[in-house]
Structure 1
Amino acid sequence: MEDKRKLLDQPLHGIYIPIALILFGTWIFSWSYMPYSIAFIAIVFSFRYYEAMKRRSSIDKNIWRDFELMDKTLIAPMTSIYRFKLNREDEILDIPTGHHLACCFIVDGKDEIRFYSPISNQFDAGFFDILVKHYERGKVTRRLAQVQVGQTVKFRGTVGTLNYSPGMAKEIGLIAGGTGITPILQVITRVITDLEDDTKLKLIYGNETERDILLKNEIDEIAAKYPNFDVHYTVTHPEPSWTGSKGYVTREMIEQYAPQISDDNMLFICGPPEMKRSLFAITQEMGWKKENIFCF
Structure 2
Amino acid sequence: MADTDDKRKLLANPLHGIVIPTGLLLFGTWLFSWSYMPYTIAFIIVICSVQYYLATQRQASMHQTIWRDFELIDRTMVAPMTAIYRFKLNREDEVLDIPTGHHLSCVFTVDGKDELRYYSPISNQFDAGFFDILVKHYPQGKVTSKLASVQIGQTVKFRGPVGTLDYKPNSNKALGLIAGGTGITPILQVITRVITNPEDETELKLIFACQTPNQILLKSELDSIAEKYPKLSVYYTVDQPSEDWAGGVGYVSKEMIQDVFGDEKDTKILMSGPPAMKSHVHGLLEELQWDKEKIFYF
TM-score band (shorter)?
A: over 0.9
* Aligned equivalent of 1:221, options 224, 231, 243: 224
Residues 67-113 of structure 1 show CA distances to partners (whole Å, capped at 9, x for unaligned) of 11111011001000001111111111111111111111111111111
In the superposition, the TM-score normalised over structure 1's length comes to 0.95
Tell me the TM-score normalized by structure 2.
Answer: 0.95
Match of 1:10 in 2: 13
Aligned-partner residue type, residue 108 of structure 1? D
C-alpha separation between the residues in 2 aligned to 1:205 and 1:275?
Answer: 12
2:61 counterpart (32, 43, 58):
58
Q: Which stretch of structure 1 is more off in the superposition, 149-158 or 271-280?
A: 271-280
Check whether the contact 1:171–1:259 (CA below 8 A) recurs between aligned residues.
no
Pick from 260, 266, 269 the counterpart of residue 268 of structure 2. 266
Q: Among 59, 71, 74, which residue is 2:74 paired with?
A: 71
- Aligned partners of 2:280, 2:259: CA distance in 1, in Å? 18
Change (3 A) 1:17 1:265: farther
Identity %: 63
How many residues of Structure 1 are paired with residues of Structure 2 in the alignment? 295
For residues 261 and 87 of structure 1, the distance between their equivalents in structure 2, rounded to whole angstroms, comes to 44
Deviation of 1:27 (Å): 3.1
Contact between 1:261 and 1:287, CA under 8 Å: does it hold in 2? Answer: no
Matched, 1:288 2:255: no
Match of 2:22 among 19, 22, 34: 19
Q: 2:251 corresponds to which residue? A: 248
Residue number in structure 2 paired with 1:233: 236
Alignment-mate amino acid for residue 116 of structure 1: Y
The 5 A counterparts of 1:21-170 are: 21-170=24-173
Partners in 2 of 1:227 and 1:200 — Cα distance?
Answer: 9
| Partner SS, residue 4 of structure 1 | helix
Aligned-pair CA distance for 1:285: 3.1
Give 1:295 deviation, angstroms: 0.7
The gaps in structure 1 that reach 5 residues or longer are none
C-alpha separation between the residues in 2 aligned to 1:259 and 1:65? Answer: 44
Contact 2:100 2:193 in 1 (8 A): yes
1:181-200 matches, cutoff 5 A = 181-200=184-203
Deviation at 1:259, TM superposition (A): 4.1
Asked if the contact 2:261–2:267 (Cα under 8 Å) also holds between the matched residues in 1, the reply is: no
**In structure 2, C-alpha distance between the alignment counterparts of 1:43 and 1:172, rounded to whole Å:** 53
Q: Distance in 2 between matches of 1:34 and 1:288?
A: 72
Contact 1:172/1:199 (<8 A) preserved: yes
